[in-house]
Amino acid sequence: MISELCIWDMATRAARVLMSHEGHIEAPNWHQDGYLIVNGDGLIYRVPLADPRLERIDTGFAIGCNNDHGISPDGTLLAISDSIETGQSCIYVLPIGGGTPRRVTEHTPSWWHAWTPDGQRMVYPGARGDRVLRLYSCAVDGSDEQLIVEGFDHVDGPDLTPDGAWIWFNGERDGTVELWRVRPDGSGLKQMTDDEAINWFPHPSPDGRHVLYLAYPTGTQGHPGNLEVSLRLMPQDGGPTTWLCDLFGGQGTMNVPCWSPDGNAFAFMRYRA
């Protein structure tokens, strides 16, 4: 498999391939200092935008990292989700340059997905005593875990608007997955899409204008890889959806926040044989 790490330019509405890699890498984040972070084979890598190549970040014992990782708002910390220590996905933080991970979530499984804009809390899906994924938040030290919303068969992909007022996420009910938003305190729950697609991984842009998301074909179960999917855009206040492009991907394409800090571009993965 060839993994193509791509940059979408919002001005030109076109993509360019930043780097091709023979192997499987996933889920780019965009650091304010001019590099991307991706995962592959349980490890985490830095990819400089000016000289694209994989540079391994030291994550200590955490060598079973999945694609749920991300950068703190001030750019100093990296959140990862790893299963080596606990046997199930658990959230940790470490210095952005690498180091010993510090455990955050007491309960597993938990998959990191977003920081609040002030950097004080994390938002993530987790299962607690059953197989249903619900939406939670906790302080960065792992204290004060709060259930934000339930009533879904499955939730995933939470990300926050830049003002911290809304959490967007994908929620499944009766086999249909749509995008929703909710206040951090669990109030104001509202469905934001209603169409034939299976909609996942909403990412509000830092400029407050757009929500980027991944659309699977009708009838898709879960969020698999190796499918023809599309990237779509909608206003953060809700409204008509704009199709951006089709690609071969799905799982790993843009599971986590991937916008450039100025909102003028975003990173994503596509794949080919």
pLDDT given at position 175: 86
pLDDT given at position 128: 94
Cβ-contact 89, 111 below 8 angstroms: yes
Contacts of 243 (CB under 8 A, 6+ apart): 230, 232
Query: Which structural domain, as residue segments, surrounds residue 136?
Result: 2-272
pLDDT given at position 134: 97
Q: What is the CATH number for 145?
A: 2.120.10.30
Q: In terms of Cα–Cα distance, which of 101, 254, 215 is closest to 271? A: 254
pLDDT given at position 273: 81
Calculate the dihedral angle through the C-alpha atoms of 33, 234, 197, 147, rounding to the nearest 10 degrees. 70
Positions in the chain whose pLDDT score sits under 70: none
123/165 Cα distance (integer angstroms): 13
pLDDT given at position 250: 97
Q: ∠41-45-46 over CA atoms, to 5°? A: 160
For the chain, the domain total comes to: 1
Cβ-contact 1, 272 below 8 angstroms: yes
213/179 Cα distance (integer angstroms): 9
Residue 208: both structure tokens together: 């407050």
101/61 Cα distance (integer angstroms): 8
pLDDT given at position 216: 97
Is this model's pTM higher than 0.85 or not? Answer: yes
